[in-house]
């Protein structure tokens, strides 16, 4: 064996994007370093992280130059295709390197995998920290044999399950490595397992909910807060399934808020308690954000996927959070579930849309390996793609044609609703349709019929298309939609060159109006009645850093019906781009006398 390879173990993570990281490989290394510190000097453990956007050849070349004795890949649905490419080529360059796999994508159907990839030495199944530690000792000290290590599948078969991990034994790996996560999302785990049994989710298999010691969690969160980390994403499957654990963490974050860090949680909103809502109510806007899996409002569907969601309670709790105006809510739906046809999904969509989430994710069922849904797929007539991410193609209730329609609707929701760039236009446009679902359906059809692209990065392109679409639906309201879109645009952009669509019915300022604008800024520089934080600016600088727009309709009104009546006299809106919403990034605006 090449001496340069001896006892070098490389943990390999291939992420979906650069801003992502792989907490699994870092946790395995930290665990090994803590509990096997006095290993031979040449028994080093390294980490190599890449992205699926890199050429596989470049990754292969880098792995070759590292020349590990053991190459262990962390496998997920987003990187499994690339891992397979590397498995085919790496043995040609490093024939003596032992190849190992681990992660949710390879923890099931392991015997078939071992047969399909005979170049594999083995697969680590389930939780990996203790298994990897023992595997490290095997390669460094040769004190045991592979078949004595629990939690692996090798050529001799499965060695048996490892006992569930004690989470308090797992080191906090960010203490010495935080600099390596600069410009990346920080992932954090305060619990493992899930008490629920959602049929599409792998977490339903591990029902042994285990919590990390709450005082340890607080100490670790303090480290993030002290270092002003931009965002920490909890990877706990249902964060609030333990009421006291969730309340303790949210209370701690509220009391120790640094004014910078945002924390992301996946929760079951219907389980929120009054005490938890009370804590949330007083949080800084943007301190936390919530991802809430609704999936469906169809009772038969919820029963089939083993979800016990109380939809009425969910509606009440999300409404309460919405009233706080300080927490971003991201609600999820899944198309392709049992008993959910096109019309039923439309009802689920409308029900969730009425909850006014900040983002509505229209996802599609992924039939994950090892999930209960995979086991019952034939029963439900669910046919999915053979390749990752194993997305549904059709079901007994939803044909492929309908699924394609939903794909088009998903794109419209992503572009127009989830961008939060059309928050005043869409409610008015929705008045022309029987339901929100019908509006996005019609918009998707309009895009397709006219050959419009959804991939353009131009924001103004999307504004123009939406105006054209609105005018096919309500041609008599063109002037109103021009102003609504202009208002939405200036909430986000301090444009000095007016886009073409907003020049319609918008008179150029005459000399008298320009003089009034200058006089306003001269007064504002003295009084600061509206603009705060501009004390050192001149009137000319204020003019460049803000924007004043004239409107003939009250487009700022929250009630869509209220903005359709033309004003008796024009109103002037001042947009302050130094003062933006922490949730929507919209500029603050004021109605000013001019």
In this prediction, residue 528 carries a pLDDT of 86
Q: Which two tokens stand for residue 197?
A: 């049994």
Measured CA to CA, the distance from residue 32 to residue 130 in angstroms comes to: 8
In this prediction, residue 309 carries a pLDDT of 92
In this prediction, residue 563 carries a pLDDT of 87
In this prediction, residue 505 carries a pLDDT of 57
Task: Flag residues of the chain having pLDDT under 50.
Answer: 1-7
Measured CA to CA, the distance from residue 460 to residue 499 in angstroms comes to: 7
Q: Which helix (H) or strand (E) holds 266?
A: strand 262-267
In this prediction, residue 2 carries a pLDDT of 41
By the 10 Å C-beta count (0-12 exposed, 13-18 middle, 19+ buried), 176 is classed as exposed
In this prediction, residue 536 carries a pLDDT of 86
Q: Which of 484, 449, 481, 486 is nearest to 467 (CA)?
A: 481
In this prediction, residue 4 carries a pLDDT of 41
| Cβ–Cβ < 8 Å for 574, 530 | yes
Which of 413-450 are b and which e, b meaning 16 or more Cβ less than 10 Å from the residue's Cβ? bebbbbebbbbbbbbbbbeeeeebbebbbbbbebbeee
Q: Is 174 left (phi over 0), alpha (psi -120 to 50) or beta?
A: alpha
In this prediction, residue 206 carries a pLDDT of 63
**What are the counts of helices (DSSP H) followed by strands (DSSP E) for the chain?**
20, 20
Measured CA to CA, the distance from residue 237 to residue 235 in angstroms comes to: 6
Please count the other Cβ atoms lying within 10 Å of the Cβ belonging to residue 468. 15
In this prediction, residue 5 carries a pLDDT of 43
pTM: 0.93
């Amino acid at each position: 064996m090449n001496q340069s390879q001896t006892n070098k173990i490389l943990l390999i993570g291939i992420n979906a994007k650069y801003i992502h990281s792989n907490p699994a490989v870092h946790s395995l290394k930290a665990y090994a370093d803590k509990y096997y510190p006095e290993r031979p000097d040449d028994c080093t453990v390294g980490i190599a992280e890449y992205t699926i956007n890199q050429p596989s050849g470049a990754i292969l070349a880098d792995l070759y130059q590292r020349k590990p004795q053991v190459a262990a890949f962390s496998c997920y649905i987003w990187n499994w295709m690339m891992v397979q490419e590397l498995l085919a080529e790496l043995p040609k360059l490093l024939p003596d390197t032992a190849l190992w796999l681990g992660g949710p994508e390879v923890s099931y159907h392991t015997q078939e995998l071992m047969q399909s990839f005979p170049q594999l030495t083995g697969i680590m199944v389930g939780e990996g920290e203790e298994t990897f530690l023992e595997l490290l000792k095997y390669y460094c000290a040769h004190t045991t044999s592979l078949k004595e290590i629990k939690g692996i599948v090798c050529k001799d078969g499965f060695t048996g399950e490892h006992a569930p991990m004690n989470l308090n034994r797992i080191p906090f790996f960010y203490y010495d490595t935080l600099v390596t996560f600069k410009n990346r999302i920080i992932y954090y785990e305060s619990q493992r397992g899930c008490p629920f049994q959602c049929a599409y989710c792998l977490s339903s298999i591990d029902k042994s909910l285990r919590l990390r010691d709450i005082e340890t969690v607080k100490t670790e969160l303090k480290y993030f807060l002290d270092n002003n980390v931009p965002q920490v994403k909890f990877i706990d499957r249902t964060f609030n399934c333990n009421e006291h654990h969730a309340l303790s963490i949210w209370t701690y974050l509220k009391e120790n808020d640094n004014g910078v860090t945002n924390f992301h949680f996946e929760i079951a909103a219907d389980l929120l308690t009054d005490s938890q809502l009370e804590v949330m109510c007083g949080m800084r806007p943007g301190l936390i954000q919530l991802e809430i899996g609704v999936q469906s409002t169809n009772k038969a569907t919820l029963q089939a996927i083993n979800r016990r969601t109380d939809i009425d309670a969910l509606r009440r709790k999300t409404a309460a959070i919405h009233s706080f105006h300080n927490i971003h809510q991201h609600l999820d739906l899944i198309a392709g579930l049992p008993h959910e046809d096109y019309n039923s999904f439309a009802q689920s969509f409308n029900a969730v849309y009425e909850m006014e989430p900040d983002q509505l994710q229209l996802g599609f069922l992924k039939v994950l390996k090892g999930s209960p849904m995979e086991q019952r797929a034939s029963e439900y007539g669910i046919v999915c793609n053979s390749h990752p991410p194993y997305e549904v193609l059709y079901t007994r209730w939803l044909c492929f044609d309908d699924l394609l329609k939903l794909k088009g609707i998903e794109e419209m929701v992503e572009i127009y609703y989830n961008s939060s760039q059309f928050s005043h236009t869409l409610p008015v446009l929705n008045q022309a349709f029987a339901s929100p679902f019908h509006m996005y359906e019609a918009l998707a059809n309009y895009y397709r019929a006219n050959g419009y692209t959804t991939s353009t990065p131009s924001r103004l392109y999307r504004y123009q298309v939406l105006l054209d679409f609105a005018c096919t639906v309500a041609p008599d309201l063109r002037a109103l939609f021009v102003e609504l879109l202009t208002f939405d645009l200036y909430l986000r952009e301090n444009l000095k060159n007016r886009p073409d669509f907003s020049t319609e019915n918008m008179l150029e300022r005459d000399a008298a109006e320009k003089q009034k604008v200058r006089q306003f800024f001269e007064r504002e520089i003295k009084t600061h009645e509206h603009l705060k934080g501009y004390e050192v600016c001149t009137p000319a600088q204020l003019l460049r850093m803000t924007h004043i727009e004239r409107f003939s309709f009250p487009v700022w009104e929250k009630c869509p019906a209220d903005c359709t009546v033309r004003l008796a006299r024009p109103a002037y809106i001042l947009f302050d781009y130094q003062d933006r919403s922490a949730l929507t990034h919209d500029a603050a605006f004021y109605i000013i006398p001019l």
